[in-house]
């Protein structure tokens, strides 16, 4: 798994999200760091760290949990 996922992803999400038990809304932003800082300031306990995966291309993202408990993935460069 280390080849395709960073340690943050493995620690926080690899065992919690399984195929078939959830739907994750995916949104994209032009500046991932700015959006991460903005949402972390407002919803600090509901925002993950920025994570990295690499299957066919490098992919950076973080997760936000909405008030209903749904995960929203924010991706970007």
Q: Where are the domains of the chain?
A: 7-12+22-76
pLDDT tens digits, 9-64: 777 665 555 555 567 788 999 999 999 999 999 998 899 999 988 877 888 999 99
pLDDT score, position 71:
85
Adjacency order of strands within the sheet including 25-29: 25-29, 71-76, 58-65, 51-54
Question: Of 7 and 64, which is predicted with more confidence?
Answer: 64
Q: Are 55 and 9 within 8 A, CB to CB?
A: no
**Topology of domain 7-12+22-76, per CATH?**
3.30.720
**pTM to 2 decimal places:** 0.70
Determine the pLDDT at residue 50.
93
Are β-strands 51-54 and 58-65 bridged in parallel, bridged antiparallel, or unpaired?
Answer: antiparallel
């Amino acid at each position: 798994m280390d080849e395709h996922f960073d340690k943050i992803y493995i620690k926080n999400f690899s065992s919690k999200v399984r195929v078939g038990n959830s739907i994750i809304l995916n949104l994209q932003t032009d500046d991932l760091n700015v959006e991460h800082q903005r949402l972390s300031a407002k919803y600090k306990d509901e925002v993950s760290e920025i994570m990295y995966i690499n299957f066919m291309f490098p992919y950076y993202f973080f997760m936000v949990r909405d008030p209903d408990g749904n995960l929203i993935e924010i991706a970007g460069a």
